[in-house]
Amino acid sequence: MLNIVIFGAPGSGKGTQSDNLIKPYGLFHISTGDVLRDHIKRGTELGTTAKAYIDKGQLIPDELMIGILASVLDDNADKASKGVIFDGFPRTIAQAEALEKMLKERNPGVSAVVGLEVPEDELVERLIKRGKESGRSDDNLETIKGRLQVYHSQTSPLQDFYKQKGLYKAIKGTGSIDGIFADIKAAVDAVL
Ligand code: ADP
């Protein structure tokens, strides 16, 4: 079983590269951003709560987010039999600790953390472009700046958390999508 955390700042290419990883490794993809946006679209109570945080560029509270992830894992246990790509989770140390516990109860734990590293100015450029194309409510300059701050204060400490466990694989997240994927594939194959 292969459990990959795809890690990086907003706009670092986590979703794009997750799509590339699904097929060759037979993994189940969980994008917490997509899960939340689906709730918003369906007008659920959770969606209403999540939208307030997302539109401000803030994180959904840990306790709520951990519960959501656990239920997605439980609901898809069959599809996730070969492993999971965690995209957008964990985003805080508390979430990483909860993930460790959840995986211990269910299967062998995180196999590797693929960290997509992209300079800040390129992140901002990509997110503004994505906002124009997709109309995502959180891809506007003000919210982008807030999300990058949240990333630096709450999420980037996870780099050291996973480095200490020997799980962090730094990947240069700039250049061609195929070139970046080739680097990711080499890093993932090395832990198989
Ligand atoms: P991006 O990586 O571009 O910020 P995502 O689609 O992964 O986009 O996430 C969008 C928003 O959803 C985040 O800014 C945050 O508000 C919320 N979110 C997603 N994943 C989490 C998480 N693990 N914990 C808390 N909030 C989350």
Which tokens sit at 79?
């599809």
Q: How confident is the model at residue 104 (pLDDT cuts 50, 70, 90)?
A: confident
Pocket of ligand 1, candidates 60, 113, 148: which has the most ligand atoms within 8 Å of its Cβ, to mutate? 60
Q: How confident is the model at residue 138 (pLDDT cuts 50, 70, 90)?
A: very high
Q: Is it the case that residue 7 has pLDDT exceeding 90?
A: yes
Percent of the chain with pLDDT over 90: 95
Angle, CA 20 vertex, CA 160 and CA 176 arms, to 5°: 80
Q: Quick one: pLDDT at residue 107? A: 64
Helices (H), 7-79: 14-25, 32-42, 45-56, 62-75
**The tokens 């700042």 sit on which residue?**
9
Q: Quick one: pLDDT at residue 105? A: 75
The 10s digit of each residue's pLDDT in 50-87 is 999 999 999 999 999 999 999 999 999 999 999 999 99
Residue 88 — φ and ψ, nearest 5°?
Answer: 95, 5
Q: Is it the case that residue 106 has pLDDT exceeding 70?
A: no
> Is residue 23 packed enough to be buried (19+ CB in 10 Å), middle (13-18) or exposed (0-12)?
exposed
Q: Is it the case that residue 94 has pLDDT exceeding 80?
A: yes
Provide the residue type at 162 as one letter: Y
The 10s digit of each residue's pLDDT in 153-165 is 999 999 999 999 9
User: Which among 178, 125, 143 has a CA at the least distance from the CA of 59?
Assistant: 143
Is 118 touching ligand 1 by the criterion CB < 6 Å?
no
Among residues 51, 56, 106, 136, which one is catalytic?
Answer: 136
